[in-house]
Amino acid sequence: MMSTRLTGAFAPAVTPFKPDLSPDLERFATHCHWLQQQGAGLAVFGTNSEANSLTVSERVMLLDHLIGQGLDASRILPGTGCCALPDTVELSHQATLHGCAGVLMLPPFFYKGVSDDGLFDYYTEVIERVAMDNLRVFLYHIPAFSGVPISLNLIERLASRFPQQIAGVKDSSGDWANLEAMLTSFPQLSIFPASESLLSRALPLGAAGCISATININPAAISAMCANWRAPDAAKAQASLDTIRQIIQKYPMIAALKWTIAHYRDDQQWQRQRPPLRALSEQQQSELQALLSAAGFAMPGLEAS
């Protein structure tokens, strides 16, 4: 089982918007091409993609466009978890038809305090309604946003009931003890922490890589760390990743990522977000620019994409 697990660094690719706030298909594909060229996989429609600000039909259109533009579906892991069961089924079905590596599935996140039995019912309904052998589900544990945790007990029950379809977990809890428990309890699954800062601790315990916001701007170095964590200079590489992440984390994440892309592409269109999210203030932009410059940050290969 281990050798067929999905591994690597997957970027929750940020989603550009046009002046009318519609998704910008062209810039999205350009960014995703660059990420794949730099060695990263694509966890499109993640939290940092503003996925939950997109309609179902917008997500369908964006994924169709990426596939049409020749992106490698076997390295795409779209977010498909919505509040409404039929929406989750539709998006998961589309991704699986396209041959995507899997789907990253939020639990339904409006109703709080729901039982593991209820969540088990929900995931069961989705898997049975998609009804495709090549569906691979990655459960998405992000309690600070969803308010609906994915417990170890729920993972255990779902992995036992659907050993073929339940392929992994993204742990965005930021709780090391929880990540360690997942890694220990489910060696057959691909467990992805949500930050590259955990790689040097998590990869030796069997983590599959990471799905991290900052892969949007630092894809080559983070991907290399996932592959080369046993190398002699790994500690130095980890420190270098941490430096960039700590700078970005001083600001609202999506706004900071979009500013960085806008700046290094010299394309201010990239800064736009859908309400209720907002771009960085002028002062934040200046500060961030100074910090990244001082750290010697660069985004190589943009001209080629």
Residues near a copy of itself (CB under 8 A) are 21, 47, 52-56, 58, 83-87, 107-112, 114-115, 117-119, 121-122, 124-125, 144-148, 274-278
| Cβ-based nearer residue to a copy of itself, 144 or 298 | 144
Whether residue 123 lies in the annotated active site:
no
In angstroms, rounded to a whole number, what is the distance separating the alpha carbons of residues 193 and 213?
11
* CB distance 50 to 273 below 8 Å: yes
- We find the least distance from the C-beta atom of residue 88 to a copy of itself, in angstroms, to be 10
| Cβ-based nearer residue to a copy of itself, 8 or 23 | 23
| Cβ-based nearer residue to a copy of itself, 106 or 191 | 106
In angstroms, rounded to a whole number, what is the distance separating the alpha carbons of residues 19 and 243?
33
What lies within 8 Å, CB to CB, of 290 at 6+ separation is: none
> Which residues does the annotation place in the binding site for pyruvate?
211
| Cβ-based nearer residue to a copy of itself, 18 or 298 | 18
β-pair partners for 149 = none
Whether residue 140 lies in the annotated active site:
yes
Active-site position among 122, 170, 251, 258:
170
In angstroms, rounded to a whole number, what is the distance separating the alpha carbons of residues 13 and 11?
5
In terms of Cα–Cα distance, which of 9, 22, 14, 18 is closest to 55? 22
- We find the least distance from the C-beta atom of residue 154 to a copy of itself, in angstroms, to be 11
> Which residues does the annotation place in the binding site?
211
- We find the least distance from the C-beta atom of residue 54 to a copy of itself, in angstroms, to be 6
> Cβ-count burial of 236 within 10 angstroms (0-12 exposed, 13-18 middle, 19+ buried)?
exposed
What lies within 8 Å, CB to CB, of 35 at 6+ separation is: 11, 13, 42, 215, 216, 219
- We find the least distance from the C-beta atom of residue 240 to a copy of itself, in angstroms, to be 29
Active-site position among 122, 140, 251, 258:
140
Q: Which residues are catalytic?
A: 140, 170
